[in-house]
Amino acid sequence: MASLFNPAEENDARLHAPATARNRDVILDVLKEHLPLAGTFYEIAAGSGEHALYFSTAFPDVIWHPTDIDESHLNSINAWRAHSGTQNLQEALYFNVLENQFPDKTDAILAINLIHIAPWRVAEILIEKAGNALKTGGTLFLYGPYQQNGAHTSDSNADFDISLKSRNPEWGIRHMEEVTSLAIKNGFDAPAVIPMPANNFSLVFKRK
């Protein structure tokens, strides 16, 4: 889980996640290959907002909605937005997957490093609601670490899983096959599975 820290400037609400600079370009390459160049996108648990800013800048014809449930994250997203002046990056929205609904005919929903630091119920509801809201051909993008074939893909991920569960027993690195099965039950095709650096994966699901 990425740590966040404030910049040195006094009274600056922007937060910095060190992992963002390390993974944003490889994630962007996947997004450019699999997402439409225009439409309405929702990013769930957008954190500091640095990904939202970077990706929305690369997709100037997309209406990018960053969301989170943490007030400091919402403030950070809006501070990055104000600092950059990016026109298509929308004001941050409070969005709780368990409570709120996506608008119908959404083009893409993205969750980066979310489902392993949330109860499994969050993954279930996120995928169900995405299946209901995304238009035909719409994309659900899930990025993070996964287990495959009942096993961790690296020793570091196994250690990370233990660490996650020590913080909250409902957290943990999910089984890719279980995530895929859940998505297929909710109207998605089998995903494109893209190995990423640092033992992560991008899963790209298309709505039937």
pLDDT tens digits, 147-186: 999 999 999 999 999 999 999 999 999 999 999 999 999 9
The domain made up of 18-206 is a member of CATH 3.20.20.410: no
The three-class DSSP label of residue 146 is strand
> Nearest 10 degrees: CA dihedral of 74, 48, 46, 35?
130
The three-class DSSP label of residue 14 is coil
Domain extents in the chain: 18-206
- Are the C-beta atoms of 75 and 99 separated by less than 8 Å? no
In angstroms, the CA 199 to CA 159 distance is 12
| Residue indicated by tokens 């035909």 | 136
Residue 193 has a CB neighbour count (10 Å cut-off) of 13
Model pTM? 0.94
Q: What is the mean pLDDT of residues 76-85?
A: 95
Q: What is the mean pLDDT of residues 176-203?
A: 98
pLDDT band at 1 (very low <50, low <70, confident <90, very high): very low
- Are the C-beta atoms of 46 and 80 separated by less than 8 Å? no
Which range is least confidently modeled, 17-26, 137-146, 177-186, 191-200?
17-26
